Structure formats: structure tokens, C-alpha cells
Amino acid sequence: MFEIFGIEMTIGWYIVVFTVCQLINVALNTAKTIIMHKEEKISSSIINAVTYGFYAIIVVMTASALPLWITIVITAITNLIGVYGSMWLLDRFKKDSLWEIVATVQNTEMDNYKQFLNLIFTREQISFNCMETNMKGEYVYHIYSENQKQSEIIKGVLNATNARYIVHEEKVRL
């Protein structure tokens, strides 16, 4: 029999409880990484307190009499599943924000290409502008995506035309 926090259980139930706690721990730490990356002080301090508090449970459970190899296998599996699942879930609830895509295009038939982009972007209500560079045949597009659907359309068009591009999230307000 194993005991954790005054509750006695068989090894099978202990492994189940440890696995669930490890999944929760991984999900919390994944969320912590994302939240702390955004540099929001209050959210970061709250998630940090929660993750370290929950981690105390994991430490106590890890110090139990479970064989080391079981602990390692459970930890590895829960990290593989937990990080992927957490990121998938966070993507589902992520707010749309304004993204600027700066694309460099080389095209000898620029008029046809501009008409093609105008047609697609106008139909999808995607804002953009085009500038000619000093380099012969190179054009720079500034494209603005307001949601994930527009981003997928833009990515498809740019990949289909072999454009080089970078993406910036517009999150700073003056």
C-alpha cells in the first residue's frame, strides 16, 4: 500500500494519481512559459505561484517508494502528451490580434501578380500595400491579418508564390 497525503491506495491507483498530477503539472508549466513570455506582471506572478505550489505535490509523490524507472516513464509520457495538449488547447482559446506580414517577392510579371494578390486579399478583406525596392524585380508587401483565418490564407498565398516573409504581432500601443 502507498500513502499520499494521508490516503492509502494500491500501487495501481497511486500510478494513476501520479500520472494525472504530472499531466496537470506539465499543463501548468506550459501555460506558465507562455504567460511569462508575454511579460504581464500580475498574470506571471499568479501562474508562477500556482505552478510552484502544485510542484510541491509532485515532489512529495516522486519521493515515494515508486521505482525510479516508473517515475521516469510517467514523467516522459506526460510531458509528451501534456505539452502538446496544452499548446493545442491554448491555441483554441487564443485571442485574435493584428499581425503584420512583410513579404519580399521577386516576380518578372509583377502586374499579373499584383492583380492576383488584389483579387484574393480584396475578396477576403485583407489589408495590404506594395512598395517597389531599388533592387530590380523585387517588391515588398506589407500585409495585415486580423484573425487566424486571414493568416492561413496569407500563408497559403505566400508559400504558393515562393515569397520570403517575416511576421510581427502588433501588440504595443503608443
Number of domains in the chain: 2
Where would I find the beta strands (DSSP E) of 15-174? 99-106, 127-132, 138-145, 164-169
Report the CATH number at residue 111: 3.30.70.120
Specify the pLDDT at position 174: 46
Global pTM reads 0.54
Among 52-56, 81-85, 112-116, 151-155, which is the least confidently predicted range? 112-116
Tens digits of residue pLDDT in 66-84: 888 888 999 999 999 988 9
Residue 119 lies in a domain: yes
Q: What share of the chain is helix, strand, coil (3-state, %, to 5)?
A: 60, 20, 20
**Does 127 share its domain with 61?**
no
Nearest-angstrom CA–CA distance, 40 and 171: 12
Which of 75, 93, 111 is the C-terminal boundary of a domain? 93
Q: How far apart are the first and last CA of the chain?
A: 61
pLDDT band at 101 (very low <50, low <70, confident <90, very high): very high
Decide if pLDDT at 172 tops 70.
no
**Does 82 share its domain with 8?**
yes
Decide if pLDDT at 130 tops 60.
yes
Domain that holds residue 53: 2-93
Nearest-angstrom CA–CA distance, 2 and 43: 36
Chain-centroid distance of CA 132 in Å reads 34
